[in-house]
Structure 1
Amino acid sequence: MNVRRLIPTAALAGAVALAATALTACSGAAGATGGKDGKLDVMASFYPMQFLAEQIGKEHVKVDTLTKPGVEPHDLEITPKQTAQLGEADVVLYLKTLQPAVDKAVAQSGVKNIVDAATLTKLEVHGNSGHDHGTEEGAADDHDHSHGEAGEDPHVWLDPVKYAEIAKGVGAALEKSDPDHAADYKKNTDELVAKLGALDTEFKDGLKNTASKTFITTHSAFGYLSERYGLDQEGISGVDPESEPSPARMKDLQAIAKKDNVSTVFFETLASDKTAKTLATDTGLKTDVLDPLEGITDKSQGADYFEVMRSNLKNLQKALGNK
């Protein structure tokens, strides 16, 4: 597997120690007090964390997000107003190393209850694909995006199994923060985990008999999904969707497309489709959307995580030649 480094990350100076559930202990208190309306104020770093908080917390939580719809989360800059909101939250839910600005703000926030989703499942290092197409000089230059000390891939939510592991940790954290509603958090967590299990089955069944296993995408966000379902991801750029690929990488991808009978170049809704269309034009391929689910907008192929994931499944089936 070709290992690439991912996007740069800020050091999390003075970070609080995280418990096994990634929730710091409240200083001498049984749990967070909640806002004026009695609800637990949860600040989520971006959509996948927001979705978990909403699904598990439901009527007991008020959820805000630092990354507004339509904003590419990797490049998020935190405003002074958001920094203040972060400091007032009862619980902060984020994924360390995905958003350097968030890491820094969380470290300085002073919030007692901090949940780092990266500690709730095992992060892995992913290359472009599960097979080697050679290391032509310059072909991997565009994947030089440092991401964490070990270069782990943060896109764990695109694997329903790993997302379910994170959901369990978030549920446990909310139970600890708000013990009065612990039973509801547990029930909601169990329901969400069951839904994610059903989604995992849909992907397994839907992708086990495809004519091809290789897909090309602008954003190398699908390493966990590819590994889970036996596919080979070939990224035009690295984890940073705005990075420009080298000419050697584009040439390499043309050869891969021909060799592996690739029919489609995927792009995403939150970043430019220019590079995908250039490659598709040069190789005579089609283009389609494969959404890394970093945010939901009116351009998304679905209104929430489950709808967009099922759209991704249909688009993969179509591109890979579902039998």
Structure 2
Amino acid sequence: MLRRAVLAGLTAGSLLLSAAACGGDEPTPQRQQDGRLKIVAGFYPLEYISERIGAENAAVTNLTQAGAEPHDLELKPTQLAQITDAGLVVYLAGFQPAVDEAVKLQAKDKAFDVASVEPLQAGGDLDGGHGDDPHVWLDPIRFAAIVGKLADRLAAVDPTNADAIKVRAGQLQDELRRLDEDYTAGLQTCARREIVTSHAAFGYLAARYHLIQVPISGLDPEAEPSPQRVSEIAALAKQKGVTTIFFEALVSPKLSETVAKEVGAKAAVLDPIEGVEKGDDYISVMVHNLVALRAALGCT
């Protein structure tokens, strides 16, 4: 009798341990204690759409700190752990090498590559050769397509909240389409079509709205243009009557200010939205960009 009682007790204990091991009500590594799915985004535009689509059902972490250049990201051990534990990693292959490597080693089966939705177009590298232009989010129509595919993937990962995810994605896509309509109307009738930028970040935006991007340097914002290139840009700007030389929010304005002074133009911000200041978001910065473009191009 005593032996049977002991065995029965051990069996009951084993069942309890097995239930605990299976998870029960405990969160999995891919979810927060409150049940929200952990999503890791490589940089701001991907954080923005992940938060808009996931909303209260997701806990989104941006690997790139506000005010930092996402191209140069180096991952800390805590960030590598975040990638390992994530339910979904949203990134753009080829844009952040450290993230690419971490995804390859730790998150290949739970990664969503934005470039697989909207293939990147080639961007001229003024230092020789060609590279893919990563700034696809600056085209609202392309960005809306990415939103739709991300929603599909997120709904598959989090089927309990699939309906809400699809509704929120549809709402965001509607906002992006209205933004496209505003840009199309706002840039339709302008005195000029040339936009002189500090580097070649606005190819998708220029292509969508029939503008001509004239970059001082190539795809790499840190690259120094040759004196000959600077002279060529200055001469072209004078010829076309350019009134504004654009620089970026996260990059030193010195180069653009130098060209602007030589041309007799002003320097102003045109933001590639790789990171945003507190109080702004993707839509509001795109609206600011439209206002800046209309003023620079003499649009009516």
Query: What aligned pairs does 1:54-93 form with structure 2 within 5 A after superposition?
Result: 54-93=51-90
Q: For residue 104 of structure 2, what is the aligned residue in structure 1?
A: 107
Q: For residue 314 of structure 1, what is the aligned residue in structure 2?
A: 291
Q: For residue 140 of structure 2, what is the aligned residue in structure 1?
A: 160
C-alpha deviation, 1:49, in angstroms = 0.3
Match of 1:122 among 99, 119, 122: 119
Q: Is the 8 A contact 1:90 1:111 kept in 2?
A: no
Q: Is the 8 A contact 1:91 1:112 kept in 2?
A: no
Structure 1 residues 51 and 166: CA distance shift in structure 2, 3 A: same
Structure 1 residues 295 and 54: CA distance shift in structure 2, 3 A: same
Q: Is the 8 A contact 1:91 1:111 kept in 2?
A: no
Structure 1 residues 297 and 226: CA distance shift in structure 2, 3 A: same
Matched residues in 1 for 2:199 and 2:162: separation?
Answer: 38
C-alpha deviation, 1:244, in angstroms = 0.7
The alignment's TM-score, normalised by the length of structure 2, stands at 0.88
Q: For residue 13 of structure 1, what is the aligned residue in structure 2?
A: none
The residue type paired with residue 290 of structure 1 is L
Q: Is the 8 A contact 2:135 2:201 kept in 1?
A: yes
Q: Is the 8 A contact 2:30 2:38 kept in 1?
A: no
Structure 1 residues 34 and 285: CA distance shift in structure 2, 3 A: same
Matched residues in 1 for 2:151 and 2:181: separation?
Answer: 23
C-alpha deviation, 1:110, in angstroms = 3.5
Matched residues in 1 for 2:196 and 2:108: separation?
Answer: 41
Match of 1:202 among 167, 182, 188: 182
Higher relative contact order (CA 8 A, sep 6+): 1
The percent identity for this pair of structures is: 43
Bigger Rg, structure 1 or 2: 2
Matched residues in 1 for 2:283 and 2:107: separation?
Answer: 34
Q: Is the 8 A contact 2:270 2:292 kept in 1?
A: yes
Q: For residue 234 of structure 1, what is the aligned residue in structure 2?
A: 214
The alignment's TM-score, normalised by the length of structure 1, stands at 0.81
Q: Is the 8 A contact 1:32 1:40 kept in 2?
A: no
C-alpha deviation, 1:297, in angstroms = 2.1
Structure 1 residues 226 and 182: CA distance shift in structure 2, 3 A: same
Q: For residue 195 of structure 2, what is the aligned residue in structure 1?
A: 215
Q: For residue 257 of structure 1, what is the aligned residue in structure 2?
A: 237
Q: For residue 5 of structure 2, what is the aligned residue in structure 1?
A: none
The residue type paired with residue 311 of structure 1 is H
1:244 to 2:224 alignment: yes
Q: What CA deviation, in whole Å up to 9, does each residue of 1:158-211 have, x standing for no partner?
A: 000000011011100110000000000000010000000000000000001010
Q: What's the secondary structure of 1:112's corresponding residue?
A: helix
Q: For residue 53 of structure 1, what is the aligned residue in structure 2?
A: 50
C-alpha deviation, 1:33, in angstroms = 5.5
In the alignment of these two chains, the number of paired residues is 273
C-alpha deviation, 1:145, in angstroms = 7.1
C-alpha deviation, 1:32, in angstroms = 9.1
The residue type paired with residue 87 of structure 1 is T
The residue type paired with residue 230 of structure 2 is M
Q: For residue 24 of structure 1, what is the aligned residue in structure 2?
A: none
Match of 2:91 among 87, 90, 94: 94
1:273 to 2:253 alignment: yes
Q: What CA deviation, in whole Å up to 9, does each residue of 1:95-139 have, x standing for no partner?
A: 1111111111111113531100001113211348xxxxxxxxxxx
Matched residues in 2 for 1:267 and 1:248: separation?
Answer: 19
Q: Which runs of 5+ in 2 are unaligned?
A: 1-27
The residue type paired with residue 269 of structure 2 is V
Q: What's the secondary structure of 1:293's corresponding residue?
A: coil
Q: Which runs of 5+ in 1 are unaligned?
A: 1-30, 129-139
Q: What's the secondary structure of 2:55's corresponding residue?
A: helix
Q: What's the secondary structure of 1:187's corresponding residue?
A: helix
Matched residues in 1 for 2:217 and 2:106: separation?
Answer: 33
Q: What's the secondary structure of 2:149's corresponding residue?
A: helix
The residue type paired with residue 41 of structure 1 is K
Q: Which has the higher helix share?
A: 2
Query: What aligned pairs does 1:121-160 form with structure 2 within 5 A after superposition?
Result: 121-127=118-124, 140-141=126-127, 144=128, 151-160=131-140
Matched residues in 2 for 1:145 and 1:59: separation?
Answer: 45
